[in-house]
A and B are shown apart, each in its own frame.
Chain A
């Protein structure tokens, strides 16, 4: 293996290498890290974020950005809790993804009809969504203490939390869609060269709208898991998750300029962020340094992968 292929390998798999290094370090420093219980807990806690990051990958590959998924998460949380109380708990859980899908589609329509950058459009819509969530919940918490509602977030199947199964299934389906379907191919080409895609007969606006709809659906799904787990709907849920999801996608090595990327990368990005957090917890390290460390690791990871792309 020559030096060039070796550095290329490091750049491609920077996030996996960092995960492995971190896992080795943490298992040497603490006996409680490398236990099935701890690892499953990490996965379970981060299942909602991983679901959102997987869908965000589609948005970013198609050349967009979605800063409203945190607000959609809040809408999902409030709507499902309200519906669970007032209509039916199963119906409430089911409707969160549907609400998310509709809001995501609104994002896509706003971006393509108004010809504005997705960054700006989703800042605006996130305020709107958040505002509506506050109005629906009347600014209060909506507690839902029923087993028919909490099974999704707290239950487990075959010794593993249901949320983790949902996350795995969602990531696998999206991987299949991105790599094996005509839709996935179109998403890649719209992000890679929009003009060429239009001239190849692809209706690029539809593709863009659909990626935002997907991100909305994922935020709704994530919120239904989360609201079921804490058995409480609230308009402040999901705050900051949009930035975490984007950070995870970029950390994984998906190009911020669109046109290339992979779902596993984003899931790995979420896990890397989660491991840092977990490390601080089990080592009883000073939590004041947590953000600082996370920031430095993100900077290192994107620096490594950007180094090879400069021409």
Chain B
């Protein structure tokens, strides 16, 4: 690595800020990334590490601050501009054309041609590229037939074919086996030794410790510190990620449920989508948290319970009564509902007004012989709008134009209209402002107080600890530990998650 003061940094970020829809996700980040280093970006879920990686790689443009690439100002900054300046980004979801061959993918968009007719030089070009980089792949293999690790190599070759000097890798190991991860790390080191720069975004601390020269820690969208990895330990990085004491609005007081009767009992639920034998229960009046890292299968467990994904095995018992083949419609009829994590894709229908969104799951309550009783519908929806102080408070409002916080309020109130017995909340306060967050927290506490069983999923550990009576740790689609939020803090929980993550990986590698 090279941190010599006379070297021009590969990328110099000054006061970078990013905001999405008025919500700031990255604030005043100033950072030098040097040529010939592997630079790690770490932080808790939502700390902004991925966003920063995407800004450095040209995928997002910053709303504040400036970027310099090899000493000159980068403006405008977008994927083509970044590529032209030698900066490439490798997304978490690989951007390959599955039906084309390795060679065709590597040279996609930069094919050599004469008047649009392809030259037959592709194989030779690829050979030269593979020889210089040390990656060996079958040039004529169709991409969709290759394992993910090979597909990542294609992405890297693609970046090299465009003479990339800086490659941003966003969570590249999340779907790799142990052996493939080692291969990727070797490749990264080979790139570094050639003098190229790798920016490595990951939530796997072991990987970061093993490969990076320097590491930048982010917390709540701000840069905490940039450190030389060799001088750090895993626990010193964890404490840097957490900091000491966050500014957080106080959580509502936890009421101890009166009687401990189980409302929801789940035994060994599994689905093709990622639930892997989870066993848990939630009592009446209780808030139970599911904590896990991104991709741990938290949401998939909830989807399997409610019947959104077909369960391949396992049993769901609702207030003592088992029910077989679950479907969302059936679950809803029995009083179990789910607030999905992605309000735009899974939650709201953007083409119908606020009121219609709220009453969508409860239409039979507002109709007589299939005809909607509009007065009653508007009355009930209006009450919820008041209760949650949705702004603008317009029954016929176009939900598309509402702020994230108000959309989320509509989404949650939609599910509270008929007093559910069991409610699964997936990321109830993601991407909302402080005010909406407090409203939502109070609504969750109030719901439990009224006797509903609440299963709360959140990537913010603090939120779960603040609201839940009990919490489960989740890794790879199953429950690995149960904790008492009253006696745990975020650092312990995170440490426990990383510990379980380690054991999970070993199993998978075999």
Task: Choose, from A68-76, A98-106, A188-196, the stretch at the interface.
Answer: A188-196
Q: Given A189-B352, A259-B352 in contact, is the A199-B372 Cβ separation under 8 Å?
A: no
Is A202 interfacial (CB-CB < 8 Å)? yes
Write out the residue numbers on chain A whose beta carbons fall within 8 Å of the beta carbon of B348: 193, 196
Closest partner residue, chain B, to A190 (CB atom): B349
Task: Choose, from B42-50, B85-93, B358-366, B462-470, the stretch at the interface.
Answer: B358-366
Bound-state Cα–Cα, A185 to B361, Å: 11
Is A180 interfacial (CB-CB < 8 Å)? yes
Is B277 interfacial (CB-CB < 8 Å)? no
Q: Chain A 83-109, CB within 8 Å of chain B: the 1/0 string?
A: 000000000000000000000000000
Contact check, B372 vs A180: say whether CB atoms are below 8 A apart.
yes
Contact check, B332 vs A191: say whether CB atoms are below 8 A apart.
no
Write out the residue numbers on chain A whose beta carbons fall within 8 Å of the beta carbon of B370: 181-183
The DSSP consensus for interface residues of chain B is helix
Closest partner residue, chain A, to B308 (CB atom): A199
Write out the residue numbers on chain B whose beta carbons fall within 8 Å of the beta carbon of A201: 328-329, 331-333, 361
Contact check, B360 vs A200: say whether CB atoms are below 8 A apart.
yes
Is A198 interfacial (CB-CB < 8 Å)? yes
Is A46 interfacial (CB-CB < 8 Å)? no
Chain B interfacial residues counted at CB < 8 A: 28
Q: Chain A 170-194, CB within 8 Å of chain B: the 1/0 string?
A: 0000000000111101101101110
Q: Given A198-B328, A201-B329, A201-B333 in contact, is the A188-B349 Cβ separation under 8 Å?
A: yes
Is A54 interfacial (CB-CB < 8 Å)? no
Closest partner residue, chain A, to B366 (CB atom): A182
Write out the residue numbers on chain A whose beta carbons fall within 8 Å of the beta carbon of B308: 198-199
Contact check, A182 vs B372: say whether CB atoms are below 8 A apart.
yes
Is B351 interfacial (CB-CB < 8 Å)? yes
Q: Given A185-B363, A201-B328 in contact, is the A196-B372 Cβ separation under 8 Å?
A: no
User: Which of B340, B349, B350, B374 is the most central at the interface, judged by chain A CB atoms within 10 Å of its CB?
Assistant: B349
Bound-state Cα–Cα, A201 to B374, Å: 21
Write out the residue numbers on chain B whose beta carbons fall within 8 Å of the beta carbon of A189: 349, 352, 356, 360
Contact check, A197 vs B371: say whether CB atoms are below 8 A apart.
no
Contact check, B351 vs A180: say whether CB atoms are below 8 A apart.
no
Bound-state Cα–Cα, A61 to B404, Å: 26
Bound-state Cα–Cα, A192 to B351, Å: 6
Write out the residue numbers on chain A whose beta carbons fall within 8 Å of the beta carbon of B360: 185, 189, 196-197, 200, 202
Is A203 interfacial (CB-CB < 8 Å)? yes
Write out the residue numbers on chain B whose beta carbons fall within 8 Å of the beta carbon of A150: none
- The distance from the CB of A251 to the nearest CB of chain B, in whole angstroms, is 19
Is A260 interfacial (CB-CB < 8 Å)? yes
Contact check, A197 vs B347: say whether CB atoms are below 8 A apart.
no
Interface residues of A in 141-195 (CB under 8 A from B): 180-183, 185-186, 188-189, 191-193, 195
Q: Given A182-B364, A201-B329, A202-B360 in contact, is the A195-B346 Cβ separation under 8 Å?
A: yes
Write out the residue numbers on chain B whose beta carbons fall within 8 Å of the beta carbon of A181: 367, 370-372
Bound-state Cα–Cα, A219 to B69, Å: 64
Is B113 interfacial (CB-CB < 8 Å)? no
User: Which of A193, A200, A260 is the most central at the interface, judged by chain B CB atoms within 10 Å of its CB?
Assistant: A200
- The distance from the CB of A261 to the nearest CB of chain B, in whole angstroms, is 9
Q: Which of B329, B345, B346, B356 contacts A185 (CB 8 A)?
A: B356
Write out the residue numbers on chain A whose beta carbons fall within 8 Å of the beta carbon of B350: 192-193, 259
Bound-state Cα–Cα, A180 to B369, Å: 11
A-B contacts besides A185-B360, A196-B348, 15 pairs, CB < 8 Å: A180-B371, A182-B363, A182-B366, A188-B349, A192-B351, A193-B350, A193-B351, A195-B345, A197-B360, A200-B360, A202-B360, A202-B361, A259-B351, A259-B352, A260-B352
Mark B residues whose CB is within 8 Å of A. Answer: 308, 328-329, 331-333, 338, 340, 345-352, 356, 360-361, 363-364, 366-367, 370-372, 374, 414
Could you show 30 A-B contacts with beta carbons less than 8 Å apart? A180-B371, A180-B372, A180-B374, A181-B372, A182-B366, A182-B367, A182-B372, A185-B363, A185-B372, A188-B349, A188-B352, A188-B356, A189-B360, A192-B349, A192-B352, A193-B346, A193-B348, A195-B346, A196-B346, A196-B349, A196-B360, A197-B349, A199-B328, A200-B360, A200-B361, A202-B360, A202-B361, A258-B351, A259-B349, A259-B350
